[in-house]
Amino acid sequence: MTMLKAIRTLLLCACAFGVAPAMEARAQDQEDLPPYKMLRSLQNIQDAIVLGDHSASEMQRFMLAAIDKRLRDADPSVFDDPRNVDAAFIYAMSGGNPETLTYLANHDIEGNFDTRVVDALSHYLAGKGGLMVENLAKAIAEYRNSRVGPYLYLVLGNATAQQSPAKSLQYYDWARLTAPGTNIEEAALRRSISLATKGAMPDKGFVYSLSYARRFLTSPYASQFADVFVELAVANYGEQTEAKIQEILGFMDKPRQREVYLRIARRAAIGGMQELATLASARAEDLSDVADAEPRALASLYSGLAGVSSKGILEAVKDISSIPDAELSPRDQALRQAATVIAEEVLRAPEPESLTQATVSNVKSEISLEEDVAGTGSGESPFAVPASDAAVKAAQPAEPQQTALSAASPADPVYDAFLSTGRSKLDEIDSLLKEEDTK
């Protein structure tokens, strides 16, 4: 026992007089690191995140805070090294504090910071991207092969996306080609797919989608990729594009393929594309195991929704009504309710009021339908775990104030289109009835 106590005492002394000073010295060395070396660690972390290491998110927040402190505490002479100036620019474009860049530029006596870039980023980070496009576009050629270049191209692509999609795609191409395998390429690819879809450039969209599927399916932003890819696939589905879609889906495992097919089926069903909705639902069901009750239920729902506008409306309503509520998210429950209401209105025998102008009761009926629909969506992904009671309550229209983290989300445009299509069919039926009445 005496020997053990002696060893313990020696270890404590070593910690007090040797290890502790060494740790303090190491911490001091970390604080004295040049900003560009600290930035390399941040870049490695951010690249690891989009390549699938989601546990690095906490370290990313820590590094952003550490770099912010280092930049603000740095002696002005530190920025005589252009690498540290580039580090400050990249930090601001990588989720850092935009006020830090302004602080450094205001204290720049030697003219180390390019005022054109500082002004452009200040406007961009303040949400005024349109004001900086012309000046930054003139200066971008000087930074093409620099460390800052890929980030500036990404910023320019974001700033010009609305006004000039074609030019924006060129900026995104430069960003991803000068920074392959990084978070810059991931963001550029994902946004390029969206622009190509909106700009009716399907060939480019499929090329971008294939590149994304090969490299970044484990990114935390892959769900956004799935959304834009589904829009691209639905808008351009056909014999010529089916092979391309299959090639892209070939890089996904079965659960991801099933999710994409379910999303395609949902959009196709709401858009009245019965053949595509039925095909996508069947493929999603084929990719589901026997124990996957929820995906099978969703496949049946979307296939049944497509049948509401066909001759088999009775069978379609019977099929979607038999799906248990527990297997549908609140958003899909609302979609089924709307489809059932429209089907009932189509099948309902005409009343005398339907042959005349709209009455107060008719108007109230439509208003109540809109209110019911508005209060049922949860804003969740249709493939997520059903929301809890608290989340559903938070999504009700009685809560007008929402934040970016609230459970509710903006109205679903394809869902609204489904209602509009149903109402237009009812209007056509009423018009035919009026014509028969006047004969």
Residues 22-56: tens digit of each pLDDT:
434 444 455 678 999 999 999 999 999 999 898 88
DSSP per-residue codes, 164-195: -HHHHHHHHHHHHHHSTTSHHHHHHHHHHHHH
User: What integer is the mean pLDDT of 255-264?
Assistant: 88
User: What integer is the mean pLDDT of 388-406?
Assistant: 32
Q: Comparing C-alpha atoms, which of 178, 226, 186 is closest to residue 50?
A: 186
Q: How far apart are the first and last CA of the chain?
A: 113
User: What integer is the mean pLDDT of 343-361?
Assistant: 49
Confidence of residue 334 (pLDDT cuts 50, 70, 90): low
Q: Comparing C-alpha atoms, which of 419, 329, 421, 321 is closest to residue 374?
A: 419
Task: Give the range of the structural domain holding residue 77, as residue numbers without chain letter.
Answer: 34-113
End of a domain among 113, 136, 156?
A: 113
pLDDT in tens, 270-283: 777 878 888 887 88
Answer whether 103's CB lies under 8 Å from 79's CB: no
The rounded Cα 360 to chain-centroid distance in angstroms is 42
362 is a domain residue: no
13 is a domain residue: no
Give φ, ψ of 179 to 5 degrees: -140, 60
The H or E element containing residue 84 is helix 82-93
Q: What is the mean pLDDT of the chain?
A: 73
226 is a domain residue: no
CA dihedral 288, 293, 294, 296 (to 10 degrees): 50
End of a domain among 345, 362, 395?
A: 345
Integer Cα distance of 387 and 408 in angstroms = 11
213 or 392, greater pLDDT: 213
pLDDT in tens, 84-134: 999 999 999 999 999 999 999 999 999 999 999 999 999 998 888 888 888
User: What integer is the mean pLDDT of 133-144?
Assistant: 90
90 or 439, greater pLDDT: 90
287 is a domain residue: yes
State the chain's maximal CA–CA distance in angstroms.
115
219 is a domain residue: no
Q: Comparing C-alpha atoms, which of 234, 236, 229 is closest to residue 272?
A: 234
257-261 long-range Cβ contacts below 8 angstroms, 24+ apart: 257/287, 258/284, 258/287, 258/288, 258/292, 258/295, 259/226, 259/383, 260/226, 260/229, 260/230, 260/233, 261/287
- Split into its structural domains, the chain has a count of 2
Integer Cα distance of 269 and 267 in angstroms = 5
- Eight-class DSSP state of 406: S
Integer Cα distance of 268 and 275 in angstroms = 8
User: What integer is the mean pLDDT of 375-383?
Assistant: 30
Least confident of 213-217, 256-260, 376-380: 376-380
End of a domain among 89, 113, 137?
A: 113
CA dihedral 45, 47, 49, 53 (to 10 degrees): -80
The H or E element containing residue 409 is none
The rounded Cα 268 to chain-centroid distance in angstroms is 20
